[in-house]
């Protein structure tokens, strides 16, 4: 007795089912739209996470007051400089520790770090502050302008 041939089989082989062939154009469109909406949602969440991380970073930096909230790019640039300033402070303290009372220097470093922006000016290459900048640091302009009458200008990265 001859068995009925499966429509999926041709010459003994299983016919590959094309997903496109089984879906009408309207269904494909619908699926595309659903995928797009989901992707948009993920992208939105991703950006919210990114902004959350940026906000956390902003909170770790010296504050300028709510009305002077740093923009995203300013936050990143300032964080860059702030880390550099802290590193320099630490280095200076370590150097001077041999000559001076270590406890006093630690207090100085702590106050410089905590007071933040205004003290970063003290660490710029042109300042009277005695230290020698590392060569790679000369690629940047580390100067800040914290004049209260003017807009805050972070350094410029070329």
Partner DNA sequence: TAGGCCATCTGGTCCT
Partner DNA sequence: AGGACCAGATGGCCTA
Closest approach of DNA to the CB of residue 154, in Å: 10
The yes or no reply on residue 72 touching DNA (CB under 7 A) is: yes
Contact pick of 42, 60, 104, 122 for DNA (by CB under 7 A): 42
The yes or no reply on residue 73 touching DNA (CB under 7 A) is: yes
- Residues with Cβ within 8 Å of 57's Cβ and at least 6 positions away in sequence, in order, are 75, 76, 79
The yes or no reply on residue 68 touching DNA (CB under 7 A) is: no
Closest approach of DNA to the CB of residue 149, in Å: 12
The yes or no reply on residue 23 touching DNA (CB under 7 A) is: no
Closest CA to 154 of 92, 87, 84, 91: 84
The residue among 51 and 127 lying less far from DNA, judged by its C-beta, is: 51
The yes or no reply on residue 115 touching DNA (CB under 7 A) is: no
The yes or no reply on residue 19 touching DNA (CB under 7 A) is: yes
Closest approach of DNA to the CB of residue 56, in Å: 14
The yes or no reply on residue 149 touching DNA (CB under 7 A) is: no
Contacts by 43-49 with C-beta closer than 8 Å and gap 24+? none
Closest CA to 74 of 61, 86, 85, 87: 61
Closest approach of DNA to the CB of residue 140, in Å: 19
Binding site for DNA (CB under 7 A): 19, 35-44, 46-48, 51, 71-73
């Amino acid at each position: 007795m001859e068995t009925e041939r499966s429509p999926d089989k041709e010459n003994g082989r299983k016919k590959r089912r094309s997903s496109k062939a089984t879906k009408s154009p309207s269904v494909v469109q619908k699926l595309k739209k659903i995928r797009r909406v989901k992707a948009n949602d993920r992208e939105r969440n991703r950006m919210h996470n990114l902004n959350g991380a940026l906000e956390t970073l902003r909170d770790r930096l010296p504050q300028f007051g709510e009305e002077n909230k740093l923009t995203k790019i300013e936050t990143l640039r300032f964080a860059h400089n702030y880390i550099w300033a802290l590193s320099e402070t630490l280095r200076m303290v370590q150097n001077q520790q041999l000559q001076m009372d270590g406890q006093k220097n630690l207090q100085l470093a702590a106050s410089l770090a905590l007071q933040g922006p205004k003290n970063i000016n003290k660490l710029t290459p042109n300042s009277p502050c005695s230290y020698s900048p590392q060569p790679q640091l000369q690629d940047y302009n580390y100067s800040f302008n914290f004049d209260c009458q003017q807009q805050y200008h972070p350094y410029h990265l070329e």
